[in-house]
Amino acid sequence: MPGIVQKQSEMASRVAALFDADSAQRRRIPRIYAKTHIERRFMAIDATDAAFDRAAPTRRRMELFMEHALPLAADVAGRALAEGGIADPAGQIGLLVLVTSTGLGAPGIDAALVKRLGLAPSVARLSVNLMGCAAAVNGLRVASDFARSNPGARALVCNVELSSVNAVFVDDINDVVTSSLFADGCSAMVVGALAPGRAPSPGNIVIRHHFTRLVDGTLDGIRLAVGEMGITCELSPDLPSYIHLGLASAVDEALAAVGLSRSDIRLWAIHPGGPRIIEASVRSLGLAPEQASHSWDALADCGNMLSASLPFVLQRMVAAEKSSEVVGNGVAFSFAPGITVEGLVFEVARSSC
């Protein structure tokens, strides 16, 4: 995680202090921040510090992204390789997928990671940009297809997000909502295909199916853009309604494709995008509140790290499932501009395989 840890209550006070004492924005900030259920967030940059230029142009913000994202991504991806048993990155990793919606540039983090991680110069590279909170699922889909098509090879997916470099803190209700939720973070995953007849290692996630659904009539739900002062995100007040109306049918169709129904699912990995996102997902799927506990915990502990968030929820599930002898069928999903539901059906391998 990035080095700056910010308690949500303290962050609210610092952001509010940037506005005039009698402004509506200053009055609403503590209230909105308190409703997020977030206890702390991690940041690469303290955007409330006087040394940070909140009017900086996009070019400068992208330079800051490269400066801070590269060491973070190298550290997290390096640990993922070690934990994934990759002793020879140059010989074993055939594809690197770099996922982000908070920084753009070419050559980018993906090119720099090749040398940092000891990957081969012939490694295939792909950047997934501006797909928002669901982009990790997009990256996993590409990585899964690569692994199936290249037996023995592995893919590395790295999701790195630094919302702090795009902070502006203007007098706008959308800005206070997004600034109360978004955080910096990084996650990485090694993806490979099982050889025929070989069982997965205990605690491994086995992807059974990927699914996507563009929800009709919801184009205003999530909007990402490159503006004059960084990458912007606009969230519609109707976003929870769009999720409530469009999610269940997408999930049911995906489960039917692998012969399952909602009653077969023990694990629900909901993107911890904010209280209204989790609550709308729970209502749409008819889940019990405790079935979203891992998502609530990730939100409280880390905030919304966009694409980096969903793997954190999955990591918590794996830790809880390692002691179980019951196969944990699961569904993981998040939301992209469109709005689009991006998800996967998975299992957590039993400890007694």
Are 125 and 114 contacting, i.e. CB atoms less than 8 angstroms apart? yes
Pairwise CA distance, residues 152 & 32, whole Å = 49
Which structure tokens are listed for 201? 């290692």
Burial of 241 per CB tally in 10 Å (0-12, 13-18, 19+): middle
Between CA 79 and CA 351 the distance in angstroms is 23
Q: Which two tokens stand for residue 169?
A: 């803190």
**Nearest 5°: CA angle at 282, between 343 and 145?**
5
Chain segment 206-228, per-residue pLDDT in tens? 999 999 999 999 999 999 999 99
Question: Which tokens hold the place of 59?
Answer: 């070019």
Q: What percent of the chain clears pLDDT 70, i.e. is strictly above it?
A: 97
Beta strands in 147-283 (DSSP E): 154-161, 185-192, 205-214, 222-227, 230-235, 267-270
Residue spans per domain, the chain: 4-192, 205-348
- Average pLDDT rounded to a whole number, residues 308-335: 86
Instruction: Tell me the Ramachandran region of residue 286: left when phi exceeds 0, alpha when psi lies from -120 to 50, beta otherwise.
Output: left
In whole angstroms, give the CA distance from residue 296 to residue 293: 5
Strands (DSSP E) found in 40-132: 40-43, 93-100, 124-129
What is the CATH topology of the domain spanning 4-192?
Answer: Peroxisomal Thiolase; Chain A, domain 1 (3.40.47)
Do 4-192 and 205-348 agree at the fold level?
Answer: yes
pLDDT band at residue 353 using 50, 70 and 90 as cut-offs: very low
Which sign, positive or negative, has the C-alpha torsion 146, 152, 186, 127?
negative
H or E element that contains 297 = helix 293-302
Calpha distance 69→144 (Å, rounded): 25
- What is the pLDDT, as a whole number, of residue 324? 58
CATH topology assigned to domain 205-348 = Peroxisomal Thiolase; Chain A, domain 1 (3.40.47)
What is the residue whose two structure tokens read 């699922």?
137
- Please pick, among 133, 158, 233, 302, the residue that the annotation labels catalytic: 133
Q: Which two tokens stand for residue 287?
A: 């889940």
Q: Give the alpha-carbon dihedral of 302, 307, 310, 316, to 10 degrees.
A: -50
Model pLDDT, residue 349: 82
Q: Which pLDDT belongs to residue 328?
A: 79
* pLDDT for residue 123: 99
Integer Cα distance of 128 and 223 in angstroms: 16
Mean pLDDT, the chain, whole residue set: 95
pLDDT (average), residues 126-143: 98
Judged against a pLDDT cut of 60, whether residue 352 lies above it is answered with no
133 is catalytic: yes
Q: 296-305: b or e for each residue (b if 16 or more CB lie within 10 Å)?
A: bebbebbbbb
Strand partners, 230: 227
Q: Which of 305, 298, 224, 291 is nearest to 251 (CA)?
A: 291
pLDDT at 271 over 80: yes
pLDDT greater than 70 at residue 325: no
Please state whether the predicted TM-score (pTM) of the whole model is above 0.85. Answer: yes
Give the integer Cα–Cα distance in Å for 30 and 25: 9
pLDDT band at 323 (very low <50, low <70, confident <90, very high): low
Following CA atoms 320, 252, 147, 328 in sequence, which dihedral angle do they give, to the nearest 10 degrees?
A: 20
Give the span between the Cα atoms of 345 and 109, in whole angstroms: 29
Taking only the tens place, the pLDDT of each residue in 144-198 is: 999 999 999 999 999 999 999 999 999 999 999 999 999 999 999 999 998 887 8
